[in-house]
Structure 1
Amino acid sequence: MAPEITVVLEGYTYFECPRWHDDRIWVSDFYSYQVVSAREDGTDVRVEAKVPGQPSGLGWLPDGRLLVVSMRDQKILRREPDGELVVHADLSNLVGADVNVNDMLVDAQGRAYVGNFGFDLMNLAQVETADLLRVDPDGSVHVVARDLHFPNGMALTTTGELLVDETLGNRISAFSIDADGSLGERRDWAKFGEVPGGPAMETTLAEIVLAPDGCCIDGDDSMWVADALGGRIVHVAEGVGVIGEIAFGSGVFACGLGGSDGRTLFVCAAPDFNEHARKVATEGKLLSIRLEPLD
């Protein structure tokens, strides 16, 4: 039986990066340029930050201050206790001029791992690989992995590995993490097909089997992953691949676990990821699905 899908928030442009924090679901809305939060049933909506450079990845420092990716100006912003947004880190010298930074994972030490498109996606430039960056709590920026195929959603396993969705690589990659936050060699955690040959965007898209986008990890170290081209959330296990899926009637681009018992899957949905269409419409939704308890 198909799970019941509930609308939590609607009338927005394009949601990304759902995060459960302080008993609320937080999410970035790309083209209204704001970060919003709400209770798990969608009530008591708050605007948490306004980000003219377009918000994306979200996370929190150990002291509770919010970090938010500002995509177009290639920065990470930090919200101070008085609500002011200040620059936490400038990534512009490590990404191309037309490249948007994207999703982000902040670990318990306050280190932020940040992906980027690698090329001008929305204008269908030739596909290029990208570096994964790490921003330390002091704002210093370091390259921790190279030649990734659109590094996007990330998660940490219970064994301390960093998982990185490569949206245009047909794979989820795993990295060991050293004490200083640097990463070991890349290995396949899940492989859905061969890495597309490119470099034309049309060629790459034709060779994508599954496009892993925003994701979250479950308590058994399986992952829930949005398939950006497939209109579905897939359940993925290491070395096995897809072990289940939830189909939607529209595009879905990110997911996150939360709710009072941690078993609500929040899903960011929109008709597509076309920037030019999403900017002029308010068809973005945040959905929720109740998952079964873990054994």
Structure 2
Amino acid sequence: MTEPTILLSGLGIPESPRWHDGRLWFCNWIDQQIVAVDPDGTPEYRPAPVERLMGWSIDWLPDGRLLTTGDKLRRHEPDGSVVVHAGQGGNEIVVDGRGNTYVNGADFDFAGGEAPKPGYIKLVRPDGTVSQVADDIQFPNGMVITPDDRTLIISESFAGRLTAFDIGPDGELSNRRVFAEGLGPDGICLDAEGAVWVSAADSSIVRVAEGGEVLQRVELTESQASFALALGGPDRRTLFILTAEWRSADSIADNLDRLTNGPRTGAVLTLPVSVPGVGRP
């Protein structure tokens, strides 16, 4: 396998990548931007309608309207206006083919060093009603939904595992089970063979099958943390790796302070892969 190459650098913490309309879109935390970058590396920067420096993400409804999380779930209208889609805030988001929006979060101050609390997944239906569909998630992070809209997989970062749920016709989640363990999961993506690209507990990313078998491994530099992954490109055979410097010997607060007040070390890397991406996002 070839080595990853830099597509874009000089970012804060790049997160929540999505391939949409021929470009890679992602959140640029700290600088509070939504970024869209062409395959040749040409970026477009837009201000994000959020108050948080970090802990927010994006995805699209089936009709093409953009959603942004944060203190609330907001919807971007075709005329450029931004309206509240639901009062539910959160961290990561994924939308299924029926317009059901899954938002996750955990109600504690991660950046401030507050003791962790179990997190949740909430379902925002197309009519804006909200219900909780999963609890006891150990720091919920990236989520993917299979192409048939029947399975949701979520990263439980503090537990080092991927957890899968069945999605019912009403959008409810059931049949909770472990997909893979022994990882360092954050943002994830799914491929056509049912494997997930995910960050590992060391300075690497892996392609892992259900049950935990590691099918491929890509090494990153020691201080380079993978915050999120996406499969995109014209044939969805480009793996986008969103990284920023993270020093494991330092505290969370020190790392975040350096990323916020120091040089912008975030970058988007690309790597060609043989199995294309599928599902949502």
Q: Same fold (TM over 0.5)?
A: yes
Give the percent of matched residue pairs that are identical in Structure 1 and Structure 2.
37
> 1:179-198, aligned counterparts within 5 Å?
179-192=169-182
Q: Tell me, what secondary structure is at the counterpart of 2:174?
A: coil
Moved more, 283-292 or 155-164: 155-164
Aligned length: 263
- 2:66 maps to what in 1? 66
* 8 Å CA contact retained: 1:118, 1:150: no
CA distance in 2, matches of 1:117, 1:247: 30
SS in 1 for 2:258: helix
Q: TM-score, normalised by structure 2?
A: 0.88
Q: CA RMSD in A?
A: 1.7
- Describe the superposition over 1:242-291 as per-residue Cα deviations: whole angstroms up to 9, x where unpaired: 22211111111100000011100011100027322211231111111111
Deviation by residue 1:109-139 (Cα, 9 ceiling, x = unmatched) = 1111112144221122212211111111222
The 5 Å alignment of 1:124-203 reads 124-158=113-147, 160-192=150-182
Secondary structure of the corresponding residue to residue 186 of structure 1? strand
Gaps of at least 5 residues in structure 1 are 93-100, 193-209
2:162 maps to amino acid: I
Structure 1 stretches of at least 4 aligned residues deviating more than 6 Å after TM superposition: none
Asked if residue 18 in structure 1 is aligned to residue 17 in structure 2, the reply is yes
Partner of 1:261: 235
1:121 equivalent in structure 2: 110
Gaps of 5+ in 2: 247-251, 277-281
Q: Determine if contact 2:67/2:75 at 8 Å carries over to the other structure.
A: yes
Residues 68 and 77 in structure 1, CA contact (< 8 A), matched pair in contact too: yes
Q: After the TM superposition, which residues 41-52 of structure 1 pair with which residues of structure 2 at under 5 Å, given as runs?
A: 41-43=40-42, 45-52=43-50
1:31 partner letter: I
Residue 237 of structure 1 pairs with residue 209 of structure 2: yes
Preserved contact between residue 57 and residue 105 of structure 1 (Cα < 8 Å)? no
Match of 1:95 in 2: none
